[in-house]
Amino acid sequence: MTSAEHVALGAYLLGALDPRERAEVETHLSSCRRCRDELADLAPLPGLMSRITVDEAISGPPPVDDAMLERLLTAATRERRTAVVRRRMLAVAAAFVLVGGSVGGVAVYRSATAQTSHSVDAAAGTVRMHVEMTAASNGTALTLQLSGVPSEEHCQLIAISDTGAREVAGSWEASYTGTAVIHGTTAIPYQHLRKLVIETYDGVDLLTTNV
Amino acid sequence: MVVSGAEDTALRVLYEQHAAPLLSYALRLTGGDRGRSEDIVQETLLRAWRHPQALDPQRGPVRSWLFTVARNVAVDAHRARRARPTEVGDEPLALIPAADDIENALDSWLVADAMAALSNDHRAVLVETYYLGRSVAEAAAVLGIPAGTVKSRTFYALRALKLALEERGVTS
């Protein structure tokens, strides 16, 4: 049923036949519809195969191991614990706000007792931001809820320390409508973080707030 | 304290489904740095775990979204390192593959995974003839099998590869 020419199609497709055999296959193809269909069916494969190197073809994709999973689970546990602390801090902060009030359109909800986490709400023009800052071992973790940025705008979050050092803490493209949640990190330690700026890639300041 | 049961399971499922392709992609993003790549995978999966609503397939292909997140994590990490002048040896940001390369990167992992699913014999003839560019006669000599067997095995290896790719959702 399967002719020698048919079986040679694979080597033909991969360019492994010598010129004489190649000519034979081509002659056969001109008169065999089944082989032409088979060839058309297999034709996309060399293009896909070219996506990987010979090493990847031999060894397969890089393996993941259990140690990676363990680290992931540990990180999630740590994060859940932080979230519990943050909720407690926010409860304290909410109580504080009743006394603290707001300053010039920018309400600063900062707990007098919170040492590792607090949040700030700020607005400028149409842009509104709620940001939670949490002390992390390597700096400060930031979770931003943002709305009112023109869509398609490429933005970045800049963190500024008490010494004036600036650091990009996150970047994103505003392809959303409504509210977006962005996670960022900065190497600036929590207690030294003073200001956050949201600006476009062109350097247009959309919002600046003290934290 | 441990992560509660349901969340633990959700994270394990995420890991099993996506850690391997993400690691493969992260290695491309970092130029093969395994440590940084593992950090990228971890942060990406944690973000997915925090936002399970983003994993709803109705909102678009999950793995493409995860690759996009991974790329953003890599770019952020790169910028953070660059902001600290004491750290040396950093490549320019332009070396991080562009976002529109994500579909290609997805295919790359799927091809590598499909190739790994082939029998050793099938994989060997494809490596010799395609990746190493050997003729049927040369491959026959290297593999120690008749030339006719190289030809038929190449044919059936391609059929098996096509099937393995289709099983992974790659249709052409």
Task: Identify the DSSP state of A31.
Answer: H
CB contact under 8 A, A18 and B137: yes
- Please report the beta strands in A32-165, taking only residues with DSSP state E, as ranges in sequence order: 117-124, 127-136, 139-147, 153-161
| Touching A: B residues 4-43, CB under 8 Å | 4, 7-8, 11-12, 15, 19-21, 23-24, 27, 38, 41-42
Is residue A119 classed as helix, strand or coil in its secondary structure?
A: strand
> Which residue among A10, A15, A183 places its CB closest to the CB of B151?
A10
Per-residue pLDDT tens over the stretch A93-149: 555 444 444 444 444 444 444 468 888 888 887 788 888 888 877 788 888 877 777
Residues of A within 8 A of B12 (CB-CB) are 69, 73
Task: Determine, for residues B136 and A81 on separate chains, whether the beta-carbon distance falls below 8 Å.
Answer: no
- The structure tokens listed for A4 are 């020698």
Cβ–Cβ gap A187/B46 under 8 Å? no
Place of tokens 């919002």: A207
Query: A29-37 long-range CB contacts below 8 Å, 24 or more apart?
Result: A29/A5, A32/A3, A32/A5, A32/A6, A34/A6, A35/A3, A35/A5, A35/A6, A35/A9
DSSP symbols for B35-47: HHHHHHHHHHHHH
Rounded to two decimals, what is the model's pTM? 0.58
Contact check, Cβ <8 Å, A60/B113: yes
Task: Please name the residue of chain B whose CA is at the shortest distance from the CA of residue A63.
Answer: B20
Amino acid letter for position A3: S
CB-CB: which of B11, B130, B135 is closest to A49? B130
User: Could you report the per-residue pLDDT of B2-42, keeping only the tens digit for each?
Assistant: 445 677 788 898 999 899 999 998 988 888 889 999 999 99
> CA–CA separation, B43 vs B38, rounded Å?
9
**Cα separation, B49 vs B44, whole angstroms:** 9
User: CA-CA distance, A175 to A195, in Å (whole number)?
Assistant: 25
Would you give the DSSP letter of residue B127?
I
A56 to chain B, any CB pair closer than 8 A? The answer is yes
Residue B74 token pair: 């890599």
- The 10s digit of each residue's pLDDT in B68-93 is 899 889 888 877 776 655 444 445 55
Tell me what percent of chain B is helix, strand and coil, each rounded to the nearest 5: 75, 0, 25
Mean per-residue pLDDT, A166-190: 72
Mean pLDDT computed over B124-152: 97
Neighbours of A202 (CB within 10 A): 7
Q: How far apart (Å, rounded) are the C-alpha atoms in residues B123 and B45? A: 32
DSSP track, A77-105: HHHHHHHHHHHHHHHHHHHHHHHH--BTT
Closest-CA residue to A14 (of A56, A35, A42, A41)? A42
- Reported as a single tens digit per residue, the pLDDT across A147-172 is 777 766 777 788 888 888 887 787 76
B72–A72 C-beta distance less than 8 A: no
**Is B23–A181 a contact, with Cβ atoms under 8 angstroms apart?**
no
Q: 3-state DSSP call for residue A208?
A: strand
Contact predicate B170/B114, CB 8 Å: yes
Inter-chain Cβ pairs, chain A and chain B, closer than 8 A: 174
A76 has a chain B CB within 8 A of its CB? yes
Inform me whether the C-beta atom of residue A78 falls under 8 Å from chain B C-beta atoms: no
**CA separation for the pair A32, A179 (Å, rounded):** 60
Sign of CA dihedral A145, A102, A164, A114: negative
| B96 contacts chain A (CB < 8 A) | no
Instruction: Note whether B130 contacts A79, CB cutoff 8 Å.
Output: no
